[in-house]
A and B are shown apart, each in its own frame.
Chain A
Amino acid sequence: MLLIPCPWCGPRDEIEFHCGGQSHLARPEPWHAVDDATWGDYLFTRDNPKGLHLERWSHAAGCRRWFNVARDTVSHHILATYRMGEPVPEALQRELAAAAPRGAS
Chain B
Amino acid sequence: MSTTFRTTARRPLFPRGPGLGLRFFALAAAAAALLASDLAGSPWPSEMRRSLNWALQPLVWLSALPASLDALGEQFKGRERLIAENRALRARQLELGGRLLKFDALQAENQRLRALLASASTLKERVLIASVLRTSQDPYRQQIVIDKGQREGAYPGQALIDAWGVLGQVIEVNRNSATALLITDPEHGVPVEVNRTGLQTIALGRGDGQTLSLPYLPSNADVRVGDLLVTSGLGGRFLAGYPVGQVTAIRRPAGESFIEAIAEPAAHLNRGRQVLLVWSRRAGIAPAGAPPAAAPAHPSAHSAASPP
A binds B: no
A contacts, CB < 8 Å to B: none
B contacts, CB < 8 Å to A: none
